[in-house]
C-alpha cells in the first residue's frame, strides 16, 4: 500500500530516532557536499545537562528583538519535529521542511543518523532563509555532537550533572570533558557550572584552546527582586528590573546566561541595545518547562528527565507555587535514572500516577509502580498518558496541583491529549509570587 506521506518525511522517519551515533565525520562530509551552509552565518552553540533549551530560546529572542534574522535549532520536540527548526520565531513550514529534506537526502552518500540528518536540514534551511545568526542547542554531549561542526562566536555550557552516563562517562569530570568539546581555539566560553572539579576541567580545556572563560556568579551576576524581576550585572552593562515569562527561579540564571552570551557576541561584532534585551526577554517563550495548562486545578508540565532537573523542579514547586495537594504524573525512559527521580518526587506528592509513555525506550509502567512501592509510596497505574491525565483531573480538587514530569515524551503526549479531555477549564496560573 502506497504511503500518503511525502517521500521526504517517510525517509526521515526511516532513520531511527532512538539510535545514537557520535562523531563528526559523517556530518562533516555531508555538509561539505552541501557547500558547507553553516559557514554562511554566525552561530552560538549551547550545551549542558539542563537549561540549554531555555537559554537558547531566550538568546534567540533577544537577538530577534535587536533586528537580527535568527535561526534556532533545538531538541527534542514535543509534538511536531518541525518545532526543532525555527527562523524568526516561526517553525519551518511543512512545504519547506519536505523540500529541504529532499535537498539534503540527494547529497547523502553514507549512512547518517536521524540527528545528523536533521541537523544538516536545519543548517541548510538557515542558509536558504539567509539568517544572520543561528543559535544551536547541542543534542547530547558536545565534542562528538553533530552541532559541533560549526565554529561559534560563543560556546555556552549551562551546567553539568549526571545524565547519559552510558555515552558520556560515569564521572562529572568525564561528562565535563565531552561537553567542553564545544570550546574552540581562541574562542569564548561561558558557563554556569559551580562544582569546583567540573570548573577545573573547563578551565583546563580553555587553557589548552587558548579560549577565554566567563563564569556566571563570578564575571556575570544577577540579583533577584521580590517582585520576581531581576537585576543583571554583566560584562559591560548593568540592567535593572528585567522580567521573563518563563516560570521558575532557575530560569533567571538561564536568562543571565543568554544575556552574557549576547554580550560576548558583541565582542565579535553583534550590536544589541538595552531596549532589545528588555523586549527580547519579555517575549521569550519555551514550552514544556514549568508550563501551566490551567488554573483550577493547577496543571503544570515540566520536561525534567534526570535527577538534577527533578531537583530544580522540586525546589520550584516548594518555593513558587501554592497548592493544597500535589498529584504527580510520572513516565520515563529506561535509560534515565527513573528510580532517583521517583525518589525525589514521591515524598512531595499526595498521589503518584505512573503511566506508560509512547516510546520504544519507555520504562514499563509496571516497573514504575514496583519502584514506587519499594520506596513505600503506593501509586496508581494507567496504561497510557490520556488515562493518566483523566485520572489526575478526577482526583484533584480546585486548590490542588497536578504536575507531570520525567520525560519530554510525557510532556508532548499530555499537550496533545489535554485539550481533548472534558475536565479541562483552560484557566491561568496561580502562584505564590511572580517569578
pLDDT tens-digit profile, the chain (435 residues):
344 445 677 888 888 777 777 889 999 999 999 999 999 999 999 999 999 999 999 999 999 999 999 999 999 999 999 999 999 999 999 999 999 999 999 999 988 999 999 999 999 999 999 999 999 999 999 999 999 999 999 999 999 998 777 778 889 999 999 999 999 999 999 999 999 999 999 999 999 999 999 999 999 999 999 999 999 999 999 999 999 999 999 999 999 999 999 999 999 999 999 999 999 999 999 999 999 999 889 999 999 999 999 999 999 999 999 999 999 999 999 999 999 999 999 999 999 999 999 999 999 999 999 999 999 999 999 999 999 999 999 999 999 999 999 999 999 999 998 766 544 554 433 333 322
Statement to judge: residues 160 and 255 lie in one domain: yes
DSSP letter for 162, please.
S
Q: How far is CA 262 from the centre of its chain?
A: 19
3-class DSSP state of 37: helix
CB half-sphere exposure, 133, CA atoms < 13 A: 25
Distance in angstroms (rounded) separating the CA atoms of residues 32 and 8: 21
Distance in angstroms (rounded) separating the CA atoms of residues 251 and 316: 10
Q: Which residue has the cell 483531573?
A: 393
Contacts of 196 (CB under 8 A, 6+ apart): none
Statement to judge: residues 230 and 375 lie in one domain: no
User: Does any domain span residue 36?
Assistant: yes
Statement to judge: residues 93 and 219 lie in one domain: yes
Statement to judge: residues 32 and 180 lie in one domain: yes
Statement to judge: residues 139 and 258 lie in one domain: yes
Q: Which residue has the cell 552560538?
A: 44
Q: Tell me which H or E stretch contains 154.
A: strand 154-157
Task: For residue 99, count CB atoms less than 10 angstroms from its CB and return exposed for 0-12, middle for 13-18, buried for 19 or more.
Answer: middle
User: Does any domain span residue 112?
Assistant: yes
User: In 3-state terms, the chain is what percent helix, strand and coil (to 5)?
Assistant: 40, 20, 40
The predicted pLDDT at position 421 comes to: 52
Distance in angstroms (rounded) separating the CA atoms of residues 57 and 74: 9
The predicted pLDDT at position 164 comes to: 76
Final residue of a structural domain among 242, 258, 282: 282
Statement to judge: residues 256 and 132 lie in one domain: yes
User: Does any domain span residue 429?
Assistant: no
The predicted pLDDT at position 432 comes to: 38
**377 in Cβ contact with 343 (< 8 Å):** no
Cell of 141: 554531549
Statement to judge: residues 170 and 240 lie in one domain: yes
The CA–CA distances, whole Å, from 427 to 68, 387, 396 equal 35, 21, 15
Final residue of a structural domain among 237, 259, 282: 282
Strands 90-91 and 85-87: antiparallel
Statement to judge: residues 235 and 326 lie in one domain: no
3-class DSSP state of 114: helix
Q: 320 lies in which domain range?
A: 291-420
CATH code where residue 86 lies: 3.40.1190.10
The CA–CA distances, whole Å, from 75 to 10, 47, 83, 347, 362 equal 20, 12, 8, 30, 18
User: Does any domain span residue 200?
Assistant: yes
Statement to judge: residues 295 and 278 lie in one domain: no
Distance in angstroms (rounded) separating the CA atoms of residues 190 and 125: 27
User: Does any domain span residue 414?
Assistant: yes
**26 in Cβ contact with 116 (< 8 Å):** yes
Q: What is the pTM of this model?
A: 0.92
Structural domains counted in the chain: 2
Cell of 104: 539534503
Statement to judge: residues 313 and 202 lie in one domain: no
Backbone angles phi, psi at 253, to 5 degrees: -70, -35
Q: Report the alpha-carbon angle 245-246-249, nearest 5.
A: 115
User: Does any domain span residue 400?
Assistant: yes
Final residue of a structural domain among 282, 301, 334: 282
The predicted pLDDT at position 59 comes to: 98
Strands 154-157 and 401-405: unpaired
User: Does any domain span residue 426?
Assistant: no
User: Does any domain span residue 20?
Assistant: yes
Statement to judge: residues 301 and 242 lie in one domain: no
The predicted pLDDT at position 427 comes to: 41
Backbone angles phi, psi at 189, to 5 degrees: -125, 140
CATH code where residue 360 lies: 3.90.190.20
Statement to judge: residues 321 and 212 lie in one domain: no
Amino acid at each position: 500500500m502506497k504511503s500518503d506521506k511525502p517521500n521526504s518525511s517517510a525517509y526521515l522517519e526511516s532513520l531511527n530516532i532512538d539510535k545514537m551515533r557520535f562523531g563528526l565525520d559523517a556530518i562533516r562530509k555531508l555538509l561539505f557536499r552541501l557547500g558547507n551552509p553553516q559557514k554562511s552565518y554566525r552561530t552560538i552553540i549551547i550545551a549542558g545537562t539542563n537549561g540549554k533549551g531555555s537559554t537558547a530560546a531566550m538568546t534567540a529572542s533577544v537577538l530577534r528583538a535587536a533586528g537580527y534574522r535568527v535561526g534556532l535549532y533545538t531538541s527534542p520536540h514535543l509534538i511536531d519535529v518541525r518545532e526543532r527548526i525555527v527562523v524568526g520565531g516561526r517553525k519551518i513550514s511543512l512545504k519547506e521542511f519536505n523540500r529541504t529534506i529532499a535537498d539534503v537526502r540527494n547529497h547523502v552518500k553514507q549512512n547518517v543518523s536521524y540527528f545528523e540528518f536533521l541537523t544538516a536540514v536545519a543548517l541548510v534551511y538557515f542558509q536558504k532563509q539567509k539568517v544572520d545568526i543561528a543559535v544551536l542547542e547541542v543534542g547530547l554531549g558536545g565534542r562528538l555532537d553533530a552541532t559541533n561542526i560549526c565554529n561559534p562566536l560563543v560556546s555556552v555550557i549551562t551546567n553539568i550533572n549526571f545524565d547519559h552516563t552510558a555515552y558520556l562517562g560515569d564521572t562529572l569530570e568525564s561528562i565535563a570533558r565531552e561537553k567542553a568539546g564545544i570550546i574552540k581555539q581562541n574562542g569564548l566560553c561561558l558557563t554556569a557550572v559551580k562544582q569546583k572539579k567540573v570548573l577545573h576541567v573547563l578551565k583546563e580545556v580553555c587553557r589548552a584552546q587558548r579560549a577565554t572563560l566567563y563564569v556566571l556568579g563570578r564575571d556575570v551576576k544577577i540579583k533577584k527582586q521580590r517582585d520576581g524581576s531581576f537585576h543583571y550585572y554583566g560584562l559591560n552593562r548593568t540592567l535593572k528590573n528585567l522580567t521573563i515569562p518563563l516560570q521558575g527561579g532557575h530560569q533567571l540564571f538561564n536568562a543571565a546566561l543568554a544575556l552574557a552570551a549576547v554580550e560576548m557576541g558583541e565582542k565579535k561584532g553583534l550590536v544589541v541595545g538595552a531596549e532589545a534585551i528588555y523586549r527580547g526577554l519579555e517575549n521569550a517563550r519555551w514550552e514544556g518547562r514549568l508550563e501551566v495548562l490551567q488554573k483550577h486545578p493547577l496543571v503544570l508540565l515540566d520536561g525534567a528527565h534526570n535527577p538534577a532537573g527533578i531537583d530544580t523542579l522540586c525546589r520550584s514547586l516548594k518555593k513558587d507555587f501554592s497548592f493544597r495537594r500535589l498529584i504527580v504524573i510520572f513516565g520515563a525512559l529506561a535509560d534515565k535514572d527513573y528510580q532517583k527521580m521517583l525518589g525525589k518526587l514521591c515524598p512531595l506528592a499526595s498521589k503518584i500516577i505512573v503511566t506508560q509513555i509512547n516510546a520504544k525506550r519507555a520504562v514499563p509502567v509496571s516497573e514504575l509502580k514496583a519502584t514506587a512501592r519499594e520506596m513505600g509510596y503506593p501509586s496508581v497505574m494507567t496504561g497510557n498518558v490520556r488515562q493518566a491525565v483523566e485520572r489526575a483531573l478526577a482526583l484533584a480538587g480546585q486548590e490542588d496541583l497536578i504536575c507531570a514530569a520525567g520525560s519530554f515524551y510525557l510532556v508532548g503526549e499530555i499537550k496533545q491529549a489535554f485539550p481533548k479531555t472534558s475536565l479541562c477549564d483552560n484557566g491561568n496560573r496561580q502562584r505564590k509570587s511572580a517569578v
